[in-house]
Amino acid sequence: MGAFHIATIRPGNDWGGDFGLYIEHAKNIVEGKNFVDTHYIYNPEMPFHPKNYPPVFPLLLAPVYKIFGLNLTVMKIEIVLLFILSLTVFFLLLKNEIPFYYLIILILVIGLNPFISDRKDHILSDIPFILLSYLFLFFLNKKYELKKHSFWLDLSIPFLLYLSYACRNMVRKRVT
């Protein structure tokens, strides 16, 4: 599935959306500049985008930017790899809950869904958010399976919840 998604990456990027600000944040991280110094001119009268974005997705993009520069294809490959990792965590989360064959069909339906396939061509925080959310649910489920306290597990659950939130803060002002 990963090979299919990587092989079908479209060149370039659509020029609407949030990807530019995420990349500017990643660039600032790599260059040691102020995170919010993106040259984006915020217009409070037309708040389509916030002044800046949460830090987790730009932190994930930063190593790719440092090594490959402004290479949108490599950034999209990173999104595909994060998606495959999220499907793996999803599988692990549900492997004891539903029959194996149903789970494989579910993974295929999700993994080959045209909407999801379209997401791989956009440098957005959706896929990393899904991965972090699945990881949070996986570790939370493990905690309840163990039925005892584990310092690292107890620490990882709120940390993963925070990372999910800090990857994609969905609070936006309503444009009227």
- What's the number of domains the chain is made of? 1
**Domain limits at 67?**
2-167
Q: Is residue 176 part of a domain?
A: no
Say whether pLDDT at 173 is over 60.
Answer: no
pLDDT in tens, 49-90: 777 788 999 999 999 999 999 999 999 999 999 999 999 999
Select the more confidently predicted residue: 153 or 73.
73
What is the per-residue pLDDT for 170?
A: 55
- Please give the Cα distance from 84 to 107 (Å, whole number): 10
Q: Is residue 153 part of a domain?
A: yes
Select the more confidently predicted residue: 80 or 15.
80
| Type of residue numbered 77 | I
Task: Decide: 138 and 86 in contact? Cβ < 8 Å.
Answer: no
The region of weakest confidence among 63-72, 123-132, 147-156 is: 147-156
Q: Is residue 16 part of a domain?
A: yes
Percent of all residues in the chain with a pLDDT value above 90, rounded to a whole number: 55
Q: Is residue 9 part of a domain?
A: yes
Q: Is residue 174 part of a domain?
A: no
Label residue 16 by pLDDT band (50, 70, 90): low
Task: Decide: 157 and 132 in contact? Cβ < 8 Å.
Answer: no
Say whether pLDDT at 6 is over 50.
Answer: yes
Q: Is residue 172 part of a domain?
A: no
Say whether pLDDT at 42 is over 80.
Answer: no
What is the per-residue pLDDT for 176?
A: 42
Q: Is residue 173 part of a domain?
A: no
Select the more confidently predicted residue: 49 or 104.
104
Q: Is residue 117 part of a domain?
A: yes
- Please give the Cα distance from 131 to 103 (Å, whole number): 17
For residue 132, which of 78, 65, 61, 83 has the smallest C-alpha distance?
83
